[in-house]
Chains A and B, each alone.
Chain A
Amino acid sequence: MVIKGNGAVNTMEAVKINTKEKERTKVTYHKSVFSSVLTGITWGAAILALAVLVFLVGFILIRGVKNLTLEQFAWTYNTENVTMLPAIINTVTMTVLSLLLAAPLGIFSAIYLVEYANKRGTLVGLIRITAETLSGIPSIVYGLFGMLFFTKTLKMGYSMMSGACTLAIMILPLIMRTAEEALKSVPDSYREASFGLGAGKLRTIFKIVLPSAVPGILSGVILATGRVVGETAALLFTAGTIAKVAGLMDSGRTLAVHMYALSSEGLYMNQMYATGVILMLIVLLINGCSGMIAKKIAKK
């Protein structure tokens, strides 16, 4: 009994001391000028970063919306209307093409890395290093490579196809990494349950593991879409700059290339504003989608 009582008193005292401590910390926290300065500059930096972003997005949207006119969505391009409709269509084609090339490759490599590979093997190390290297290469180097390899050596010429091949290599590491993370986050118990029911490895992968990893893979694909839509330097010398709705083997400009072409002609400020708005809206939409998917994954 005595011991118990003592214990209770001790706890009470401990609580008291703790609250006192807390108060004291708070006091020093407010008193220490240096700490307040540190807190201040940290907040300041974050506010500065976000303010720049808000200003940038707001500026482009508000100044640009005024410059959106109907004639910029005309079907055929001429120097009078400077329409961006062909560029929009080409952007869609380019996105679909490069995703069709890169997504299966990226997802399959991720499957190999997660489900089959010996994690400490030399091959896995090599694949990781090269994927890392690919994600660090600037887009202009991809553009040069695409020009030398796809347009010249493989004789594909300035075409949507050589542009899409170049971009596919560029977005491959992004899709690979996100797919790998998504596959890794599928619990092993799923696989074991499937094996236990007598399913083979292949069936387990395609019927059990991949479906549960879809949201993660999708968020990677969406991020890759964003990169394709915004890409310019890698496309200038692979897909070219012709302002027409392009077939697979024709040269065509995407929206971002269209914007650069306008800027290098230097006559079309208003049209550049308008193109900027459309690009910005697409980017906002893409970011919104990937944000929503991320939330869904977090809820799971």
Chain B
Amino acid sequence: MKLRETIMKLVFLIAACCSVLAVALICIFLFMNGVPAIFKIGPLKFLTGTVWKPGNNIFGILPMIVGSICVTGLAILMGVPVAILTSVFLSRYCPKKFYGICKSGINLMAGIPSIVYGFFGLVVIVPLMAQLTGKNGNTMLTASILLAVMILPTVVGVTESAITSVPESYYEASLGLGATHSQSVFFAVVPAAKSGILAGIVLGIGRAIGETMAVIMIAGNQPRMPKGITEGLRTMTANIVLEMGYASGLHREALIATGVVLFVFILLINLSVSMLNRRVPYGD
């Protein structure tokens, strides 16, 4: 009997260590396969080169890095205000009757596969953009609009729980000082939740920068420096998926190295999220 208890405890422990093992394996295999390529190409040439011509053995991924950052930044600019206002609405304005519907709507948004989002972008936003600009509709703006929609549920989820967890006394104290409902919510409750809101935004950045399938379908994918919001661009994620199918040799390693760069971005983002979450917001 005692033995069985001990064995099962060990089994649970081993299962729990799986996530540690997985992260270790992911780090080891990505870095082992990607870093040598970076040094073969030359770190500076690889990271700051503006020309990507695998056929001529020229591998500069700066256009893709800038592309990822541009698309993500624009998506955050458009998506975050709507997301924060929506979570304020859910936690402080929404009539009780509608809360269930609204919340399950946001959950549904999180559940829709990115390929379906991409398809929606392809058949709705791209033609619209083509009409508006009179050019090709596969642009930076198109991709950012779609990403803004896609990150909404991520940001709303975190932000809403941050706003809801602000002690009611903040709101009541503000009301007691004569502020209206809206003033109390926006100038007492929301500022108190700012580290949680920031964590939500950073998570949204992570989601946007890692998004692959939706972006590939609508961003144009030209491997050159982004020229403007109505021009096409290629992100790091798109670069990997588009060329991995036929790449070999150094080209393949360069694509894995692109993945490594993306992975480092994500690790930095994760780090900042956990630092934001670790702060104790309402020192009791």
A interface residues with partner B (beta carbon < 8 Å): 25, 28-29, 32, 34-36, 38-39, 41-46, 48-50, 52-54, 56-57, 59-60, 63, 104-105, 108-109, 111-113, 115-117, 123, 126-127, 129-134, 136-142, 144-145, 147-149, 153, 169, 172-173, 176, 200-202, 223, 226, 229-233, 236-237, 256, 259-260, 263, 269, 272, 276, 279-280, 283-284, 286-287, 290-291
Contact = CB atoms under 8 A, between A and B. Distances in A.
Given A45-B82, A109-B16, A287 B119 contact: no
B17 A140 contact: no
A63 B124 CA distance: 11
Q: Which 7 A-B pairs have the closest CB atoms?
A: A138-B210, A230-B113, A45-B85, A108-B15, A112-B12, A38-B182, A46-B89
B108 interface: yes
B180 A53 contact: no
B212 A138 contact: yes
A56 B240 CA distance: 28
B19 A130 contact: yes
Does more than half of chain B's interface fall in helix, strand or loop, or is it mixed?
helix
Nearest to B4: A202
Residue among A39, A115, A142, A284 with the highest chain B CB neighbour number at 10 A: A39
B122 interface: yes
A149 B89 contact: no
A46 B263 contact: no
Contacts of B267: 133
Nearest to B258: A144
B39 interface: no
Contacts of B20: 126-127, 130
Nearest to B263: A141
Nearest to B15: A108
A230 B89 contact: no
A38 B186 contact: yes
A286 B120 contact: no
B48 interface: no
B241 A43 contact: no
A49 B122 CA distance: 20
Contacts of B122: 263
B29 A149 contact: yes
Contacts of A172: 18-19, 22
Interface of B: 1, 4-5, 8-9, 11-13, 15-20, 22-23, 25-26, 29-30, 33, 81-83, 85-86, 88-90, 93-94, 102, 104-109, 111-120, 122-124, 149, 152, 156, 175, 178, 180-183, 185-186, 203, 206-207, 209-213, 217, 237, 240-241, 244-245, 256, 259, 262-263, 266-267, 269-270, 273-274
Given A35-B183, A42-B88, A46-B89, 17 more contacts: A25-B180, A36-B182, A38-B185, A49-B82, A59-B124, A108-B16, A117-B16, A127-B17, A136-B270, A137-B266, A141-B259, A141-B266, A144-B240, A148-B29, A233-B237, A237-B244, A280-B112
A70 to B, nearest CB: 22
B119 A263 contact: yes
B8 A202 contact: yes
A48 B82 contact: yes
A256 B214 CA distance: 12
Contacts of A127: 16-17, 19-20
10 contacts: A25-B175, A45-B89, A112-B15, A140-B241, A145-B29, A149-B25, A200-B5, A231-B113, A259-B115, A260-B115
A133 B182 contact: no
A259 B216 CA distance: 13
Contacts of A52: 149
Contacts of B211: 138
Given A39-B93, A137-B263, A260 B149 contact: no
A145 B22 CA distance: 10
A136 B273 contact: yes
Contact of B237 (A44, A49, A123, A138): A138
B6 to A, nearest CB: 10
A176 to B, nearest CB: 7
A80 B140 CA distance: 35
B256 A144 contact: yes
A140 to B, nearest CB: 5
A136 B29 contact: no
Residue among A56, A133, A229, A290 with the highest chain B CB neighbour number at 10 A: A133
A131 B111 contact: no
Contacts of B30: 141, 144-145, 148
A248 B259 CA distance: 28
